[in-house]
Amino acid sequence: MDTLRIDRRVVLVTGAASGIGHAIARACAVEGATVHLADVSDAVHEAAEKLAGAGGGIGSEVGSGSVASHVCDVTDPAAVRALVDDVVTASGRLDVAFLNAGVNGVPSPLQPGGAIDEIPFEAWRRVMDVNLDGLFHCLQHCARVMKRQRSGSIVVTASTAGLRAEPRVSYPYVASKSAVVGLVRQAALELARFGVRVNALAPGPVVTNIGGPGPRPEAAVAEWENSVPMRRWGRPDDVTGLALLLASDDSSWMTGGIHVVDGGASALTQVPSDALPAPIPTPDSGTD
């Protein structure tokens, strides 16, 4: 029996130039979906060309669908509306939306400049603009189309950092992903009667460029690995199986779910105290 069928589906993936978004776009293309890749970077065009086989990519694996690319800044509501309209104009409908665009780039509370009283508001605002406001714009315009169709699946990239406090992750990232979890659940309640499902992926530590390109400090890499029972970082391809499930009819009775992919990390119910900064001694208030 064929399962996870998404061939002939029209799929939009935001944040698709690299990382989890690109892995999901690739998996959908292999399964024969018509895939529209969107990203704020012009690199999305090269990523799409590789998927289509134009640059020595996976052309022999791609099924009967097609691949297209779009540059879009999700913080601009007019640009997001135009993106969704362009997808529908080109492909006739929108069946699946993977809303994956996200940023971080702010130090954690364990790093210099990451304490609550040290973060510049501009840095906070940038993360919230993309991760929360950008998601809202995408949800709004994808829902507009899918409500009219009376069908569709929206899959949002949340994070395990939105499910519990995580001292190795920045304040704005934790706050934005926590809000994303609530937004997904709220949208699922409204859209269920229209035949539209809304779910979230909640990855743990995955090797992507979200914290900036370049090598990470070895000590930080080891700390993260030690927090995962499976003792390794995730890879973008570790997320694609669940993503395809949520896009397919095999998940037709699944909505409002926050689905964790983290090597078992969230099964640990407590953050060990040695992952936190050492207490600061209280100044001696006595008198000589």
pLDDT tens, position by position, 243-264 = 999 999 999 999 999 999 999 9
CA dihedral 179, 127, 71, 242 (to 10 degrees): -40
Q: Check pLDDT > 60 for residue 288.
A: no
Q: How far apart are CA 181 and CA 174, in angstroms?
A: 11
Task: Find residue 10's DSSP bridge partners.
Answer: 34
Reported as a single tens digit per residue, the pLDDT across 110-128 is: 999 999 999 999 999 999 9
Domain 10-266 fold is Rossmann fold (3.40.50)
Query: What gap in Å lies between CA 9 and CA 151, rounded to an integer?
Result: 12
Please give the single-letter amino acid code of residue 93. R
pLDDT at 283 (0 to 100):
74
Confidence (pLDDT) at 58: 42
What is the reported pLDDT for 1?
40
The two structure tokens encoding residue 183:
């937004």
* Cα–Cα distances in angstroms (integers) from residue 198 to residues 23, 30, 171, 225, 263, in the given order: 20, 23, 26, 30, 23
The closest alpha carbon to 144, from 196, 100, 92, 188, belongs to: 196
Q: Residues 166, 224: contact at Cβ < 8 Å?
A: no
Query: What whole-number distance in Å separates Cα of residue 243 and Cα of residue 176?
Result: 21
Query: Tokens at residue 67, please?
Result: 């691949």
- Cα–Cα distance for residue pair 257/201, rounded to 1 Å: 8
- Which tokens sit at 118? 């040290």
Look at residue 267 in the predicted model and tell me its pLDDT.
87
Q: How many CB atoms lie within 10 A of CB 223?
A: 15
pTM of the model: 0.90
Dihedral over Cα of 208, 123, 262, 278: its sign:
positive
Q: Name the 3-class secondary structure at 249.
A: helix
Mean pLDDT of the chain: 89
Catalytic residue numbers read: 173
Dump strand ranges (E) for the chain. 10-14, 34-39, 67-71, 96-99, 152-157, 196-203, 258-261
Find the mean pLDDT for residues 134-151: 98
Distance CA 41, CA 54 (A): 19
